[in-house]
Amino acid sequence: MAKYFFYDTNIVGLVLEEEKATGGAAVQAHAWLNGLAAIGNKVCIANYEDQTSPIKHEFGHIGLVTIYNRKKGLRWVRWIFYRFPSIYRALRKARPNYLYESIPSWESFFTGIICKTLGIKQILRLSSDIILDERYLTRNSKMDHWLMKLGIQISDYVLCQNDYQFNLMIKMYPDKSFIKIYNPFIHQKQVVVKSRQRTYIAWIANFRFPKNLELLYEIAILLKDQKFEVAGIYVNQHPEVDKYLAKLKQLKNVKFKGHVKRKEIYEFLSGARFLLNTSHYEGFSNTYLEAMAVGTPMLVRPNANPDQIINKYDLGIVYQDKHDLKLKLDLMSEADYQRLSDQAIEYVNKNHDHIELAKKLTRFLEREKTNSHTCKADTSVELKMDSASIK
């Protein structure tokens, strides 16, 4: 079996006794590492030297690898003279077979060089659709974009979340090894779908511009007879986020829950009638899977409906705008709602098991390792067939 190093310092926030809020990429990576460990692989995650909180006892199988101290080094040169050398030494000591990055960034090029030097295979997971298109430049510099693209180019494997990402990879990086594979999900056996009344519409995300709090506010205003419970924390300063957070806090039908811990997420979602997503874009939101597990249907926009699974598998409502959402909710019967709820549970159990997807990932990696000279055309066909099999 292999050893996997997860280069994402947010993952550790999920395994510490003092749990910290993280983004969806870290939650997804956490499911990957548990799936890989369950089938016999060794797993370890990056940790800061100045992170001292103890790890939860149930995660004793996960190794912590110290990469650097966040407080050390001169601001403008610390990456070159301190951080990257420290990462190099940490990886040389840990000696993993694979390095997994949750979010490709400008760092990916330099970690890729380190991996090439040490003979480590680098895996990049495309966390968002914007990574491969022009929207990336709306939030990042041209230099960041250039280095990130170089990072994808020199990486060994790329994991796509949906068809949009997969088809762009075919056009932009036709000679790379890549596959479409959906997000893994750790189904909690003890989770029981609540029989009590579902009383609110849930919304979960860290408060950032891509999550579109403006639309959340407009929907809450329009659906004034509905209760909304909003879970998340403020992570990025942005004028629009600030503006609509303030407006939302003034609404009587909106309640803020703050950070909901992993062990509390199913309690929160199973009390909700729907999970509302208002994002400008999504790759494949982990909150969808968490909601499906407790039979909570989704309310999503077309650009946050990966591979059209919401309408294709009858998992919720796809709405064009706030008025379209209100109309569709008004027309929904209890029988319609129950069908969506039942379909959601069936879908997530059938398609997103973390152990089965970990096996699928390892089969892909083993195949690519032994067949690295597969021609371009054959690779594209093979991966398209392979990606369809998980649906």
CB 106 within 8 A of CB 83: no
Residues 173 and 236 occupy one common structural domain: no
pLDDT at 387 over 70: no
Residues 28 and 105 occupy one common structural domain: yes
For 67-98, write each residue's pLDDT tens digit.
Answer: 999 999 888 899 999 999 999 999 999 999 99
Q: How many domains does the chain have?
A: 2
Please state, for a pLDDT cut of 70, what percent of the chain lies above it.
93
3-state SS of 238-270 is: CHHHHHHHHHHCCCCCEEEEECCCHHHHHHHHH
What confidence category does residue 191 fall into, taking pLDDT thresholds of 50, 70 and 90? low
Q: Considering the domain boundaries, does residue 310 fall inside one?
A: yes
Residues 210 and 154 occupy one common structural domain: no
For 129-186, write each residue's pLDDT tens digit.
Answer: 999 988 888 888 999 999 999 999 999 999 999 999 999 999 999 999 999 999 999 8
From 112, 145, 180, the end of a domain falls on 180
CATH of the domain at 59: 3.40.50.2000
* Tokens representing residue 247 in the block: 């407006």
Closest Cα to residue 245, out of 188, 206, 294, 196?
A: 206
Residues 129 and 260 occupy one common structural domain: no
pLDDT at 384 over 50: no
Residues 176 and 204 occupy one common structural domain: no
Instruction: Report pLDDT for 18.
Output: 72
198: which DSSP letter? Answer: P
Residues 148 and 98 occupy one common structural domain: yes
Residues 149 and 79 occupy one common structural domain: yes
How far CA 342 is from CA of 273, 292, 325, 336, 345, in Å, comes to: 13, 9, 21, 10, 5
Instruction: Report pLDDT for 385.
Output: 36
Q: Considering the domain boundaries, does residue 291 fall inside one?
A: yes
Q: What's the whole-model pTM score?
A: 0.86
Residues 206 and 142 occupy one common structural domain: no
Strand partners, 160: 180
Instruction: Report pLDDT for 23.
Output: 79
Relative to beta strand 177-180, strand 200-204 is unpaired
Q: Considering the domain boundaries, does residue 159 fall inside one?
A: yes
Residues 255 and 347 occupy one common structural domain: yes
Residues 264 and 328 occupy one common structural domain: yes
Q: Considering the domain boundaries, does residue 386 fall inside one?
A: no
How far CA 289 is from CA of 93, 265, 351, in Å, comes to: 36, 11, 10
Q: Considering the domain boundaries, does residue 111 fall inside one?
A: yes
Q: Considering the domain boundaries, does residue 330 fall inside one?
A: yes
Closest Cα to residue 188, out of 345, 390, 368?
A: 345
Closest Cα to residue 19, out of 262, 286, 267, 231?
A: 262
Residues 169 and 27 occupy one common structural domain: yes
Range of the domain at 21: 3-180
Residues 102 and 218 occupy one common structural domain: no
Q: Considering the domain boundaries, does residue 141 fall inside one?
A: yes
Q: Considering the domain boundaries, does residue 125 fall inside one?
A: yes
